[in-house]
Chains A and B, each alone.
Chain A
Amino acid sequence: MNAWANIKAIVKRELGGYFTSPIAYVFLVIFLLLTGFFTFTVGSFFERGEASLVSFFTWHPWLYLFLVPAVGMRLWSEERRLGTMELLLTMPVTTSQAIVGKFLASWLFLALALVLTFPVVITVNWLGAPDNGVIFAGYVGSVLLAGSYLAVSCMTSAMTRNQVISFIVSVLICLFLILAGYEPVTGLLSRVASPRVVEVIATFSVMTHFESFQRGVLDTRDVVFFASLIGFALFVTGVIIRNQRAG
């Protein structure tokens, strides 16, 4: 009767839920089509003439901006709407176990979607000789980025039983997390603020940290950034859920 057994049971149920409904398949197809489209058409993979997946990873923060909240928006709002939250939280399970279990399940699902992009890795290896270490770091960064957005969506879905509101709020928060370090925005900011201030703001952005992964740098500071963002958002989720129950 330990915590992991509970978390495992919840992860299994959630993942099963994805694949018994059409959500999983629709999501996977859209995700793969869009990554393909952005990498090869918008990102001009072939015209670049270089053996790297830069044109693949560059788009992830923007792609995830809409796709990840679409996965996360139902996590808690649906439990509340259907009343299953009452069932789940009167089981011998702590709120934290339930939150972590539901989060992990969705994260695994997103990781699976990412794994299914393996044909681009094969393609680039077949066409040239890319640095596979850099590609690996890119994938690690991408998984962490998806996890961060997901934790934010988890938090917003705990706030409301309305999935549309949950979706919009999490897109806005994630957009802020992008823009704080997006070059055009930091460029604009540096005209009015000192470079030091701009730099501090940018460290709060997922872009700053995601970019170093794309360069092939696995820096513990970046990993810690994403891990603490996830931890913080899940902690807030717990606070929200406990407060709602306290009425």
Chain B
Amino acid sequence: MIKVENLVKAFGPKLAVNDVSFTVERGEVLGFLGPNGAGKSTTMRMITGFIPPTSGKITIGGYDMLENPLPAKRLIGYLPENAPSYADMTVHGFLNFAAELRGLQGDARKKAIHRAAEQCLLNNVLYQTIDTLSKGYKHRTGLAQALIHDPDILIMDEPTDGLDPNQKHDVRNLIKRMGENKAIIFSTHILEEVEAACTRVIIIDRGKIVANGTPQELKARSPEGRLEDVFRSITLPDTVRA
């Protein structure tokens, strides 16, 4: 479903993403790990068509994101970092807007809003203005927006950021459940999340992929069998300049 080939993104002289290639198929949940500033968000922004890559190729469900962005974008549901939304709208108004842009009309739109609100546990704030909501609800509103058209591909930048442990647990389960028939990429800092929800892990450091495998394979690399040790041994703190 998602095919990324030799992706490069340069911001001036700095290579934010340096020759990244991977594929994600339906039924896979790919966890994107890496220190802050490693290039996770930049990679996701390129895959979702927000920023064009300096070079490389992105194919989404057979459509080239650069040459044929609209059909490619239709297949994707995207939760950007910090779950931005239009604060002056109600949750319902916002989901309705997203559904409209996704081409859903009439009854199908109503059903889609109802389903997404149900999945993300938003029913009791549906007619509240988004800026009056707590961080957890705001985040789930962003998630509901990404799920509104029941996309084949789901891309989420730190979907559990700012949630309390219960909400984190719910979102993780949701990801796991949806992963059965979608292709999912999500980024996170939380290593246990990767073990709980992912079928595959990519660790990215300073723009390059430094590890790619199942959580079990990566854990086997450390003598104690802990993902954290693996992560610490192959990535550098961002204060260290190579």
A binds B: yes
Give me the interface of A with B, judged by CB distance under 8 Å: 1, 5-6, 9-10, 12-13, 16-17, 20-21, 82-84, 86-87, 89-94, 245-247
Chain A residues within 8 Å of B73, by CB: 90-92
User: Which of chain A's residues have a CB closer than 8 A to the CB of B51?
Assistant: 245-247
Are A86 and B70 in contact, CB atoms less than 8 angstroms apart?
A: no
Q: Does B160 contact A (CB under 8 A)?
A: no
Interchain CA distance A246-B66 in the complex, whole Å? 12
14 CB < 8 A contacts A-B: A1-B103, A6-B101, A9-B101, A20-B89, A20-B129, A82-B86, A82-B87, A83-B80, A83-B82, A87-B78, A87-B80, A87-B84, A92-B101, A247-B10
Taking a contact as CB atoms under 8 Å apart, the answer to whether B89 and A82 are in contact is: no
Contacts of B35 in A (CB 8 A): none
**Whole-angstrom distance between the Cβ of A243 and the nearest chain B Cβ:** 10
Whether A13 contacts B49 by the Cβ 8 Å rule is no
A residues in contact with B129, CB < 8 Å = 20
B82 partner residues in chain A, CB cutoff 8 A: 83
A210 CA / B188 CA spacing, docked (Å): 57
A86: contacting residue among B50, B102, B103, CB under 8 A: B50
Q: Give Cα A92 to B74, complex, Å.
A: 6
- Seen from chain B, the residues whose Cβ lies within 8 Å of a Cβ on chain A are 9-11, 45, 48-52, 70-71, 73-74, 76, 78, 80-82, 84-89, 93, 97-98, 100-103, 129, 145
Chain B residue with the shortest CB-CB distance to A89 = B50
Do A92 and B45 touch across chains, with their CB atoms under 8 A apart? no
Inter-chain CA distance A12–B89, complex, in Å, is 12
Which of chain A's residues has its CB closest to B77's CB?
Answer: A90
A84 & B93 in contact (Cβ 8 Å cutoff): no
Q: State which of B9, B85, B101 has its C-beta within 8 Å of the C-beta of A93.
A: B101
The reply to whether A90 and B101 form a contact with Cβ atoms under 8 Å apart is no
A94 & B88 in contact (Cβ 8 Å cutoff) = no
Residues of the B chain whose Cβ atoms lie less than 8 Å from the Cβ of A93: 101
